[in-house]
A = this chain, B = another copy of it.
Amino acid sequence: MIQLNYRDAKPIYEQVKDGFRRLIVQGVMEVDEKLPSVREMASSLAINPNTIQRAYRELEQEGYLYAVAGRGSFVAGVPEEDSARRKELFAAFDAAVEELLYLRVGEEEICQRVAQVHQKMMGKGEKAKE
């Protein structure tokens, strides 16, 4: 369900957040669908429950999840105005583009890549809204 990469410098709780955010945004997980429990997810990934707890808490604060004590955590959907997330994405995007341009990767090649990603998405994400 979620893939961890320990060689990545990105913290585990961030990777977990990214994983679920992806599943939610793509519509792979539907609204009100239940997520694995904190302990179950931790056991499944062989990591500490606190790490999952943090990921879930932050995703809830961002509006992607809602949690009910005793019942579980559920998909809330894609937040209407996640301008903060959008800023993060553009920042990551800009950084990648800038260094690619440093490395003599052409502007055309980069734009073509955008289209490729778009096509690849259309192939897999059938449930994605419009």
The answer to whether B113 and A94 touch across the interface, beta carbons within 8 angstroms, is: yes
- CB-contacts of A1-18 with B (<8 A): 18
Name the one of B78, B95, B111, B113 contacting A103, with C-beta atoms under 8 angstroms. B78
- Chain A: interface residue total (CB-CB under 8 A): 37
The answer to whether A86 and B105 touch across the interface, beta carbons within 8 angstroms, is: yes
Q: Please give, as numbers and ranges, the residues of chain B lying within 8 Å of A128 by CB-CB distance.
A: 102
- Count of chain copies: 2
Q: Please give, as numbers and ranges, the residues of chain B lying within 8 Å of A105 by CB-CB distance.
A: 86
The answer to whether A90 and B102 touch across the interface, beta carbons within 8 angstroms, is: no
- Interface presence of A40 (CB below 8 A): no
Given contacts A96-B93, A96-B96, A98-B121, contact A25 B103 (CB under 8 A): yes
Q: Please give, as numbers and ranges, the residues of chain B lying within 8 Å of A101 by CB-CB distance.
A: 117-118, 121
Given contacts A111-B111, A111-B114, A114-B111, contact A99 B89 (CB under 8 A): yes
Q: Which residues does A use to contact B, with CB under 8 Å?
A: 18, 21-22, 25-26, 78, 81-82, 85-86, 89-90, 92-105, 107, 110-111, 113-115, 117-118, 121, 125, 128
Top 3 nearest A-B pairs (CB, nearest first) are: A93-B96, A111-B111, A25-B102
